[in-house]
Amino acid sequence: MTKKSILSLAVVVIALSYTACKPKDASTAVSGDAAVKAYVAPGKYDEFYNFVSGGFSGQMSVYGLPSGRLFRVIPVFSVDPEKGYGYSEESKPMLNTSHGFVPWDDLHHTELSQTNGEIDGRWVFGNANNTPRVARIDLKTFRTAEIIELPNSAGNHSSPFITENTEYVIAGTRFSVPMGDNTDVAIDTYKKNFKGTVSFISVGKAGEMDIAFQLMLPGVNFDLSHAGKGPSHGWFFFSCYNTEQANTLLEVNASQRDKDFIMAVNWKKAEEYLKAGKGVKKQVKYVHNVWDEATHSAKSTVRTEVTVLDPAILKDICYFIPCPKSPHGCDVDPTGEYIVGSGKLAALIPVFSFTKMQKAIADKAFEGDFEGIPVIKYEAALHGEVKKPGLGPLHTEFDGKGNAYTTFFVSSEIVKWNIKDLKVLDRAPTFYSVGHLCIPGGDSKKPSPKYVIAYNKITKDRYLPTGPELAQSAQIYDISGDKMQLILDFPTIGEPHYAQAAPAELISKNSTKIFKIEENKNPYVAKGEKEAKVVREGNKVHVYMTSIRSHFSPDNIEGVKIGDEVYFHVTNLEQDWDVPHGFAVKGANNAELLIMPGETQTLKWVPEKVGVYPMYCTDFCSALHQEMQGYIRVSPAGSNVPLTFSLGKLPAPEAAAPPTK
């Protein structure tokens, strides 16, 4: 028997076993060669990286496709004691906001940077929904490199979508709120006092973010967005709901109107007005946090000004297009011509034409205005409607071959349809209640249409039960043929919303392996054990500590007193890939440190009881990892035990160890 025939026999056996064990429901969607299509052999690499939003975990997870293997959870908006993120002195400023230190948020959408409308593998952005912020993650280190807060914003949901050369990353308000000098107003004065904004955050060559301008907009809910591309480059499209402007029981009161809006923003025009000085500078307060790879630490700075443009006065920046029933997804196809709005409560999908929209604007084919912004006639911008596609359309991605894939939350399915003739081509069930979906590059000019991944809100009976709280899930479908084929499902961390995927080689080749110890500019670095020391400054004790397989230097410290604040500045002297060291000390009220090769990180420790405290390495580093430990002695306040530190000194007989230098 040849190897191939053994393999195919095995596949048949596996396939048989699948159908034999679970003849009902879900498995009916799994056909014979699914296991082979999702199988990535041990030691082999996946084809794609998948960057998945963690929802209420506040983090971003990285999976391989098609295996569904989890590689890393990147801490972004929530503290992560495992990595010391938000606990080390160096990383605390990353989570600073104008409200102080915020340890948690809700990350909904991921967006990979693009050049010429194609994914370029430099950065991935994420949005914080609750305390409005946008984060940039560096794909060389897979770490959060920068976080910018958004003033005049509440519920940053329609974010962090980008323009085709990553000129801007977008942030739009889900909640409209009162803004400016008088924000203490009655909630039921929504129509009079509440406003929404859309922020255009410029992205520099090195990725640095800055709020270029904000648009002050009518008080509605901005939901999702996508940039134009190709012919529609220069425009940005947003879905809006609650055009009823309700402030209570939105479930009913924001579902009254037959149509809400897609908002089209001509941002090139906005740039012209900005240049012409038409912006108004507003006094606000927000913070900008940047991680520095040289000092291995973050810096948080406060900013106090933002420039606002008013589209009700500057007439040709914004237009509304009516869109049926509380639109959610707002997606632009790879050609840049078609804009798909998905009305959550609609039983059809409207597709708008950029060309027709331009003509409608030129012809002034308006049906009126909404708070000073022109409303284009629905038919004048409409390419057509997909009739009876399913129930509750949410999000659409594209295969670059003229087809769109839309998720349906209520009817739990993905539906493939043709953009030109609007005919439904295929439908596949999801398990269950799918939200977002992802095709690698599926919102760019150049999708890699091999898989579509569904991100499900509910798993119910899909996995072994784990009490009342169950995992959310992702499901991978092969879309290389005419029909979608379910090949794998796997649980996710947090609640996945939007996700993006990119070919692995675009990113893997740039991955950082170590930080060069010679380039470490942390003010508390110890470059070698010669520089290890303990220094007292008043009641602050700074421990300049080194770690290498398998000892700390120093590993015996005495002379710390109650009332002292101890700062362990631990430098990892290793210069080899995949050799982090950890650091933990008994009773620490925060977390551990996890220090990458060549890095310095600091743990603050305030001992409250007299005694000898152990400290140790938490990350298994060598055969003698269990020996990588030390002691720190804490004496009463006012004690005269001198400050000493040592490594490798054996005790003097019976007497207290003499001070060493």
Partner 1 sequence: MKKWIIIAGMTIFLFACGGNDAANKEESKTEGSTSAEAAAPASADKAAADAKRGIGKFTKVEVGATLDAAMAESGTKVYDVKCGSCHKLTEERLVGPGWKGVTSRRTPEWVMNFATNVDEMLAKDPEAQAQLEICLVRMPNQNLTDDDARHVYEFMRKNDGVK
Among 373, 397, 387, which Cα is nearest to 324's? 387
Nearest-approach distance from CB 63 to partner 1, in angstroms: 21
Q: Torsion over CA of 547, 552, 554 and 555, rounded to 10 degrees?
A: 160
* Beta-sheet strands, E only, within 267-420: 280-292, 297-309, 318-324, 327-332, 338-343, 348-353, 366-370, 373-376, 382-387, 393-398, 403-408, 413-418
| Residue nearer to partner 1 on the CB measure, 193 or 571 | 571
Residue closer to partner 1 by CB (options 472, 572) is: 572
Q: In the complex with partner 1, which residue's Cβ is closer, 6 or 185?
A: 6
Least distance to partner 1 from the beta carbon of 87, Å?
26
Contact assessment for residue 405 and residue 452, using Cβ atoms and an 8 Å cutoff:
yes
Kindly tell me which of 81 and 528 has the beta carbon lying closer to partner 1. Answer: 528
List, as one string, the DSSP characters of 302-319.
EEEEEEEE-TTTSTTSEE
Is residue 518 helix, strand or coil? helix
Residue 457 corresponds to which tokens in the numbers above? Answer: 């809100």
Q: Least distance to partner 1 from the beta carbon of 656, Å?
A: 25
Q: Which is nearer to partner 1, 28 or 622 (CB)?
A: 622
CA 229 to chain centre: 23
Both tokens of residue 109?
A: 């959408």
Q: Residue 191 or residue 513: which is nearer to partner 1 going by CB? A: 513
CB of 619 to partner 1, least distance (A): 14
Give the span between the Cα atoms of 164 and 113, in whole angstroms: 8
Radius of gyration for the chain, computed over Cα atoms and rounded to the nearest angstrom: 28
Closer residue to partner 1, CB minimum distance, 20 or 362: 20
Distances (CA, A) of 629 to 484, 553, 564, 586: 55, 10, 22, 12
Q: How far is the CB of 527 from partner 1 (least distance, A)?
A: 5
CA–centroid distance for 240 within its chain? 22
- The residues, ordered by sequence, that sit 6+ positions from 201 with a Cβ below 8 Å of its Cβ are 134, 148, 168, 169, 170, 171, 209, 210, 211, 212
Q: CB nearer to partner 1: give 495 or 574.
A: 574
Residue number with CB closer to partner 1 (15 or 643): 15
Least gap, CB of 528 to partner 1 (angstroms): 4
Q: How far is the CB of 7 from partner 1 (least distance, A)?
A: 5
Report H helices in 404-510. Answer: 504-508
Q: Which is nearer to partner 1, 261 or 552 (CB)?
A: 552
Query: Smallest gap, in angstroms, from Cβ of residue 288 to partner 1?
Result: 34
- DSSP for 213-257? EEEEEESSEEEEEEE--GGGTTEEEEEEE-TT---S-HHHHTT-S
Taking the least distance from each CB to partner 1, the nearer of 249 and 623 is: 623
**List of residues contacting partner 1 (CB under 8 A):** 3, 6-7, 9-14, 16-17, 20, 41-44, 514, 516-518, 527-530, 546, 548-551, 553, 573-576, 579, 622-624, 648
Residue 554 forms beta bridges with which residues?
none
**Is 44 or 205 the residue whose CB approaches partner 1 more closely?**
44
Q: Please give the Cα distance from 344 to 350 (Å, whole number).
A: 12
Q: What is the DSSP string of 11-79?
A: HHHHHHHHHHH--SGGGGGB-TTHHHHH---TTPPPSEEEEEE-BTT--EEEEEETT--EEEEE-SSS-
Q: How far is the CB of 518 from partner 1 (least distance, A)?
A: 7
Nearest alpha-carbon partner for 333 in 410, 402, 385, 282: 402
Rounded Cα distance between 52 and 17, Å, is: 31
**Please, what sign has the CA dihedral across residues 230, 231, 234, 239?**
negative
- Cβ 363 vs Cβ 369: under 8 Å: no
Peptide bond before residue 327 is cis, with ω within 30 degrees of 0: no
Q: 24 or 364: whose CB is closer to partner 1?
A: 24
